[in-house]
Structure 1
């Protein structure tokens, strides 16, 4: 089955101010029909405005809204208000599809081992940003677009299915997040909902720079350094191109984990 992206769509992207969130926002927007609405969420207001400017330069007559938000503080009520604000004066029935990309996330403290952090508050703060806020937003998204065909993308990682030393925050958070979306896919299997857990590979972004700079995992640091030195680390453009291919070919089953390097 081919997934046609050229529909009048309500698109919501988190972490849309830079990196793959920014690139995915622009590339998906380029395929949408006029009258679509695109909502961009991140902390950096300037980064969001840059993404908005790039989308508007496409000239395909879509509306773009930006919201600078700290995911460590936002509540379900605020998510609901944000969604409703972006839909003011618009009928939900006008949209052929609602599409959300859960991209925002942090890597956590990679200088500590799995037994170094015993403070539950530190773990709670990490999970609030990377798991709880994601679930909260997704629930409100489904309530607002209850009768609309939906595509739900969770940006995951190989770290969600394989352990890496120094990455206890990131690995456990990605694993929890991915399992939530797998359960969602199982529950929504007959309701015109497509769920994809997409692992974009190691990308040349600030996140991998942080890992290379701070991680105690010498093997991982060495791998990232080698990829950067050899110019073989993936770019946001490369992984976004594969992401669009995966979506449009739709060879995966809803809820599947699909990696950039999968055939």
Structure 2
């Protein structure tokens, strides 16, 4: 596959899943700033209060009529994301701009609170199934609806899987999270190969070790510093990254550096913003 660059200033249907952590909020703001007039941004998360705050922030900071921002609260399993996306598309094409087709659609899969607060090995079978439903099945279902939507036929598409070069390795207290991360990465690689002929591009982006990453709790309620889980001193010596830095790096990869669909790109691959 050839390297690809994308000018984000296109009429776009943007979906961001997982907006409750600082990275998700930065992604929402910076991507919306760059979209062309007539764009629609659907921001999804489980935390209704965070969604409300982010929606107000976007309205205050963008100060533009270019992007219509709508939010949707995900249920605990995130299985209603498909319905929220479908409704957002129906609302757009059933309104005054029904004749305005999108030039591109972008879906960003971020982790929300799971990236900063949750360190958990579910113990019961039900807990394991619920965790896999949220971390693996729900993003796949959202992708499938996005790929098959009649409203997005013949529209160029970009899927970004916000992943982690650290969490796809075996770590203490993180077996289930690491397993879901690895499975998600393989799914996005396969999707890139299968959907390339239909104008779908896929990028898995590792944003680096976040400066906002907090200590976490194990199943017994003990506080654990993320550094205690990592044996590699080399990894621990990498500079911590601010969410805004990671966002600008991703945008720079898309618009300037270029990427190959299906490949993984890590923030630390180059320090050039």
Q: What is the correspondence of 1:99-178 to structure 2 with a 5 Å cutoff?
A: 99-104=106-111, 106=114, 110=119, 119-144=124-149, 145-178=152-185
Residue number in structure 2 paired with 1:195 = 202
CA distance, structure 2, for counterparts of residue 126 and residue 65 of structure 1: 26
Q: TM-score, normalised by structure 2?
A: 0.81
The correspondence for 2:62, drawn from 58, 64, 75, is 58
**What 5-or-longer segments of structure 2 have no aligned partner?**
none
Counterparts in 2 of 1:166 and 1:216: CA distance versus 1, 3 Å: farther
Partner SS for 1:188: helix
Of 143-152 and 102-111, deviating more is 102-111
Partner SS for 1:159: coil
Question: In the TM superposition, what whole-angstrom CA distance separates every residue of 1:17-53 from its partner, at most 9, and x where no partner exists?
Answer: 3321111010011101111111111122221122222
Q: Does 1:209 align with 2:215?
A: yes
CA distance, structure 1, for counterparts of residue 135 and residue 15 of structure 2: 17
Question: In the TM superposition, what whole-angstrom CA distance separates every residue of 1:163-206 from its partner, at most 9, and x where no partner exists?
Answer: 2222112111111111111100000122211100011112134x
Residue 43 of structure 1 contacts residue 70 of structure 1 at CA under 8 Å; is this kept in 2? yes
Q: What is the correspondence of 1:39-50 to structure 2 with a 5 Å cutoff?
A: 39-50=42-53
CA distance, structure 1, for counterparts of residue 13 and residue 201 of structure 2: 15
The correspondence for 1:18, drawn from 18, 21, 27, is 21
CA distance, structure 1, for counterparts of residue 25 and residue 64 of structure 2: 17
Of 89-98 and 185-194, deviating more is 89-98
Counterparts in 2 of 1:50 and 1:220: CA distance versus 1, 3 Å: same
Question: Could you say which structure has the greater relative contact order, defined with CA pairs below 8 angstroms and 6 or more residues apart?
Answer: 2
CA distance, structure 2, for counterparts of residue 28 and residue 183 of structure 1: 26
Could you tell me how far 1:242 is from its partner in structure 2? 1.0
What is the aligned residue count? 255
Residue 44 of structure 2 contacts residue 81 of structure 2 at CA under 8 Å; is this kept in 1? no
Residue number in structure 2 paired with 1:220 = 229
Could you tell me how far 1:65 is from its partner in structure 2? 0.3
Residue number in structure 1 paired with 2:7 = 4
CA distance, structure 2, for counterparts of residue 252 and residue 260 of structure 1: 13
CA distance, structure 2, for counterparts of residue 154 and residue 204 of structure 1: 20
CA distance, structure 1, for counterparts of residue 37 and residue 252 of structure 2: 22
Q: TM-score, normalised by structure 1?
A: 0.84
